[in-house]
A and B are shown apart, each in its own frame.
Chain A
Amino acid sequence: MNVLYSLLLVLALVVIPLIGAGALGWHTLFGVFIPLFAVVVFLVGFVYRILDWGRSAVPFRIPTTGGQQETMPWIKQSKLDNPSTTAGTVGRMALEILLFRSLFRNTQTQLSQGPKLSYGSSKWLWLGAIAFHYSFFIIVARHMRFFTEPIPMPFEWLDKLDGILQIGVPTLYLTEIVILAALAYLFLRRVVVPQLRYISLPADYFPLFLILAIVISGILMRYFIRTDVMDIKTLTMGLATLNFSVPEGIGVIFYIHMFLVSALLVYFPMSKLMHLGGVFLSPTRNLANNNRMQRHINPWNHPVKVHTYQEWEDEYREQMKEAGLPVEKE
């Protein structure tokens, strides 16, 4: 059911611009106002969420230590998995964010007769995740061609690199294949693995379908339902420079693509997609394990009721004296 709801929701998001920009011809609304609104919601929402997390205190240092602590010099410390310095922590975060290190560790547990448990390395999720995220990132960066003039060299290079196989005209991008495969994998494992199906919410399927729809509409526009790229660039440059112009003759497929991207931008800050920001703020990863070396302050540390030594001795003084234990008051 969760799959169906999410699919229907994305189909509805396709129908809206189909009618609005297609049948009704509201090109300015779908080409300018909605995208601008979406960008504003995305930026404001994203910043708000980060600030909101930032407003909460980090009372204690609670890094998950994934290796040997810093101790005596003759014992080798695991500087990246159990960092005690800022440099080590930055290294740990970089590995986490750029290479998905924790996911790389993933194992799969198997129970066979006996009972006998075995743990095998399982890197498929890591591979799927890294393929998805990097191709998504490259695709977004490639799109900067539409929002810059002249186009900075790195974006040009990326474009060349992505089309390095030079298959067909226009050149097939590698990332389009990779992201389709990765999305298909990420979706299928949710449907096929019983445990994953059990934990999956509409909020898990919806973004997968939405991004899939964005990719498909982009591919359609590039290879099958052609629309004039120069016209699109005029429109997107207008958005980037806030000097709007909506050329006639842009195909409705473009407005569908643009609307779906807008939907993603609006959805982003209020959804699990915020893990993009949250991964930087996780206290089990972004803190050094140096609690015993340096004092760390809890902003809300308040006094608590304790049972003092004096109160305690008052209760046990006689027995203590009898047992020959020293007391403060005779």
Chain B
Amino acid sequence: MSKLPAADTLAASIDYTPPRKPWMEVPAEFRPGVYSYPANPKNLKILDFPNPRQWAPEDDDWKLPENWQEIIYEGFKERLHKYRSLKVFMDVCVRCGACADKCHYFIGSGDPKNMPVLRAELLRSVYRRDFTMAGKILKSLSGSRELTEDVIKEWFMYFYQCSECRRCSLFCPYGIDTAEITMMGRELLNLLGLNINWVMEPVANCFRVGNHLGIPPHTFKDIVDFMCEDIEDITGVKIDPPINKKGAEILFVTPSGDYFADPGTYTFMGYLMLFHELGLDYTMSAYASEGGNFGLFTSAEAMKRLNAKIYAEAKRLGVKWILGGECGHMWRVINQYMDTMNGPADFLDVPRNPLTGTVFSNARSTKMVHITEFTADLIKNKVLNLDPSRNDNLNVTYHDSCNPSRAMGLLEEPRYVIKNVCNNFYEMPEQTIREQTFCCGSGSGLNNEEFMEMRMRGGMPRANAVKHVQEQYGVNMLSCICAIDRAALPPLMEYWVPGVDVTGVHELVANALVMRGEKERETDLRGEPLPGKEG
């Protein structure tokens, strides 16, 4: 692994001056810290993906299949037909440059190929040569080029330096979405067996075992039991969450990041406490024990294979509707793809909150509700007994996770919940929140250790906005509704904004939640003394 330079050294190295040579003549340079390790062949074998083998990006020979050009050509052709987005986005860009400084990886690296327009040109240049009249006649004058191995290497570099956050798409006059371009680029690379392990291992684990981390069912139960012990220690309330329980009313699905590592675990404890307090008739599933879907970062087919488990399990368990935890791209998959890929969910009912009677008609087809929608409804109807002063030691800001904001539009619900469970809430500058939010720098399967330099560069705009509210209002807690954020933001904060911790929204809810029969709480879920109990 590479050594990460100090924050000020890294910041000083950002240079927005483009190279002197035209971009087509600048090959991708693989140095530690800016690329992710290739997929372990065993993970590709589990999934029947092509060309499993040992290789390294810094090698000259990437061991591509013999007919790799033909594979790319055919794959490209197929996708142009399957996706109007790809075809239109290949054709209509006028290179106005409005997207250029919207990408967090460009802002943090200065590498012009991280400008969304140029990232897309990496594909377009090949598209023009193979699929347009102008490219065939005018050759390089049209901006087209030969498909060489260097081009493939460049694709690998830059399609795995895009976190599919869609911020550029918001500013593009034609709505060109680099997430779509990157997804297509990655699909094509996957045809040649060019994938990264941090994406393929979660996909393989999720497919075979049920979740990204490969936690088998009995261990899943152990983890949940362990958390319940902690909850009992803190609150005095004993809870026993159901797993694989048939006939429950609600199936609860959340990302495995929430039960694997801090601070996600506190959010998970928050869900369990809330459900217990409500007396909710729900169940979790050890088979569909993953809400996140790294298939989204692989191919539409992989995404569909993993997502299929949620409806299948809802059907097997005979639940009425599904509740989803705090997760970023999981919600992108649910909002934009699930019903289309694996529906219709006609064996389920339109979700109805059993405590308030609210019918979630905005989820009447997918039958799946976001937990902040659910909790906001509970608070609005005054179902919960909340004591926000228990969070008074926190000055909280909120990071809009990219996917729920720009691929769903979930902006107000989490804010409503936070404002009702915390007394001290401060927004970051408006160009960095809501639909204009910045990525954590580690999305779309890029939150691995070896990629740390790029993560810190890409996360800089987000960190910078947090630093602003830290200086302005003394913010010490960054809340979010995404498990990847909860994994990615702590190192980012430690690097750029020391003194700010990261939390999920339902950890804050659980701290404020006054439970029936609870003992007088001395600490929050993290074991830190509550305000006034520092004694």
Chain A residues within CB distance 8 Å of chain B: 5, 49, 52-62, 64-72, 74-76, 78, 81-82, 84, 96, 100, 102-103, 105-109, 111, 114-117, 119, 125, 129, 193-204, 270-272, 274-275, 278-279, 281-285, 289, 291-298, 300-301, 304-309, 312-313, 316, 319-320, 322-326
Contact = CB atoms under 8 A, between A and B. Distances in A.
A70 B335 CA distance: 12
B132 A270 contact: yes
Given A66-B409, A105-B170, 18 more contacts: A53-B88, A56-B83, A57-B81, A62-B85, A62-B336, A65-B409, A66-B406, A103-B96, A194-B17, A199-B112, A270-B133, A272-B93, A282-B176, A292-B339, A304-B308, A305-B48, A307-B207, A325-B243
B409 A320 contact: no
Given A199-B95, A278-B174, A71 B413 contact: yes
Contact of B117 (A107, A117, A199, A308): A199
B461 A117 contact: yes
Interface string B312-328: 11001000000000000
Given A102-B171, A323-B221, A198 B23 contact: yes
B172 interface: yes
Given A57-B82, A305-B48, A102 B142 contact: no
User: Closest 5 interchain pairs by CB?
Assistant: A69-B409, A278-B92, A284-B175, A65-B409, A323-B218
Interface stretch (B148-156, B362-370, B508-516): B362-370
A64 B93 contact: no
Interface string B330-374: 000011110111011000000000000010111111101000010
A144 B406 CA distance: 43
A309 B362 contact: no
Given A58-B85, A117-B461, A306-B308, A74 B380 contact: yes
A81 B411 CA distance: 13
User: Looking at A60, A70, A76, A282, which has the most chain B CB atoms within 10 Å of its CB?
Assistant: A282
Interface of B: 8, 11, 14, 16-18, 22-23, 48, 80-89, 91-98, 100-102, 107, 112, 115, 117-118, 121, 132-134, 141-143, 166, 169-177, 180, 207-208, 210, 216-218, 221-222, 243-246, 286-287, 300-301, 304-305, 308-309, 312-313, 316, 334-337, 339-341, 343-344, 358, 360-366, 368, 373, 376-377, 380, 405-413, 416, 429, 431-432, 434-436, 460-461, 464-465
B17 to A, nearest CB: 6
Given A103-B173, A199-B112, A204-B95, A289 B304 contact: no
Nearest to B18: A198
B340 A65 contact: no
B97 A193 contact: yes
B88 A102 contact: no
A316 B218 contact: yes
A60 B336 contact: yes
B412 A75 contact: yes
Which secondary structure dominates chain A's binding surface?
loop
Contacts of A107: 101-102, 171, 431, 436
Given A70-B362, A75-B413, A274 B92 contact: yes
Contacts of A96: 173, 175
Contacts of A49: 91
B169 A284 contact: yes
Contacts of B339: 291-292, 295-296
B350 to A, nearest CB: 10
30 contacts: A60-B340, A62-B85, A62-B177, A64-B169, A64-B175, A70-B409, A72-B380, A75-B413, A81-B435, A200-B95, A272-B95, A278-B174, A279-B92, A279-B173, A279-B174, A281-B84, A281-B88, A284-B177, A289-B335, A292-B334, A292-B363, A295-B344, A298-B341, A306-B305, A306-B312, A307-B305, A309-B313, A323-B222, A325-B221, A326-B244
Contacts of A62: 85, 177, 180, 336, 407
Contacts of A319: 216-218
A47 to B, nearest CB: 15
Nearest to A106: B98
Given A275-B94, A283-B88, A75 B416 contact: yes
Given A57-B84, A62-B177, A203 B143 contact: yes
A236 B177 CA distance: 43
Contacts of A72: 358, 360, 362, 373, 376-377, 380
A144 B141 CA distance: 34
B308 A100 contact: no
B287 A312 contact: yes
Contact of B83 (A59, A65, A103, A198): A59
Contacts of A56: 80-84, 86-87
B316 A309 contact: yes
Contacts of A194: 16-18
Contacts of B300: 59
Contact of A316 (B217, B243, B312): B217
A65 B22 CA distance: 35
A132 B379 CA distance: 51
Given A109-B101, A199-B118, A306-B308, A320 B217 contact: yes
B18 A53 contact: no
Contacts of B175: 64, 96, 102, 282-285
B464 A117 contact: yes
B115 A199 contact: yes
A325 B217 contact: yes
Contacts of B245: 326
A304 to B, nearest CB: 5
Contacts of A129: 96, 173
Contact of B88 (A75, A282, A293): A282
